[in-house]
Amino acid sequence: MFRTAVLRSARTLAQASTRAYQPAVRRPAVTPFITTRISTPAFSISAVRGYASGSGLGQEEVTGRIMDLLKNFDKLSAQSHFTNDLGLDSLDTVEVVMAIEEEFSIEIPDKEADAIHSVSQAVDYIMAQPDGTSTLAAPKTMC
């Protein structure tokens, strides 16, 4: 996201510097003691800032993305328990939580991570985040 904003700003800056800047025509004051000087800037800088709005992620999309992380397991469902249904040990459960953190670009505190033992608990945690449904809307892509 930051890389995109920087590239957009640089592109806008390059376009702005190639255009001819035409200042508004001002008439100098007609007094013998005051002279006005009109100067034009050499270039202009415009910043691009994008914010997500709208509904963002739905529960179905969050569930689908978590299920995609665990797609190698045969008995996978939205109610699958990591230990009982999928046969994961505690280290595997930690790795799954870390994969969820990476997928959604968030950091889950250790206390909450220890409480996530199933797909539905992971979905509930993601959906309970205040910015979870708006800032997590775009899935990660490789550039």
CA 32 – CA 119 distance, rounded (Å): 80
d(CA 113, CA 94): 8
CA dihedral 129, 130, 131, 134 (to 10 degrees): 90
d(CA 141, CA 55): 21
> Among this protein's residues, is 89 annotated catalytic?
yes
Which of 68, 89, 92, 124 does the annotation list as catalytic?
Answer: 89
Q: Which residues are identified as catalytic?
A: 89
